[in-house]
Amino acid sequence: MDAAADELLRLAFDRAPALEANQAIARVRAQQGDELSGATSYELVLPAENVRSFLLDYTLPRLVDYLESSGAKLPHCGGVFLSVFSGDTLHFLQARDAVELLSRWSGLSMAELKTRYGPK
């Protein structure tokens, strides 16, 4: 496995077979949500190679824009978790943990991420 994928997926708080994705996402949504609503799943599929550049060039800008637009503001990213498909496994990560790692990799602070990739 790609070293960047390995580092990202070590952040997972839960895993499930990808074939059971719908049930697993529903379960985690219910576990992570509050009494009024479930949490939101942000789903992505990791490529087999060049994971770090995929995450920094493609995923990070879209994820930050989504989080800021939906009210799940950085750095806490409340109510959002990532459902990351890698091979035949689905990995669940807190959005805040993934953003923190990608922030470190990019060399951009949370404020810089918001300015660069947040809603205009």
Residue of 84, 10, 1, 102 whose CA lies nearest to 46? 84
Contact 56, 106 (CB under 8 A): yes
Number of folded domains that form the chain: 1
Per-residue pLDDT tens, the chain, 120 aa: give them: 699 999 999 999 999 999 999 999 999 999 998 766 779 999 999 999 999 999 999 999 999 999 999 999 999 999 999 999 999 999 999 999 999 999 999 999 999 999 999 998
Q: The whole model's pTM is what?
A: 0.94
Give the pLDDT confidence score for residue 110 in this predicted structure: 96
Contact 108, 120 (CB under 8 A): no
Domain of 48? 3-117
Q: Which two tokens stand for residue 4?
A: 């960047």
CA 19 to chain CA mean position, Å: 19
Give the pLDDT confidence score for residue 88 in this predicted structure: 97
Alpha-carbon distance of 31 to 18, in angstroms, equals 19
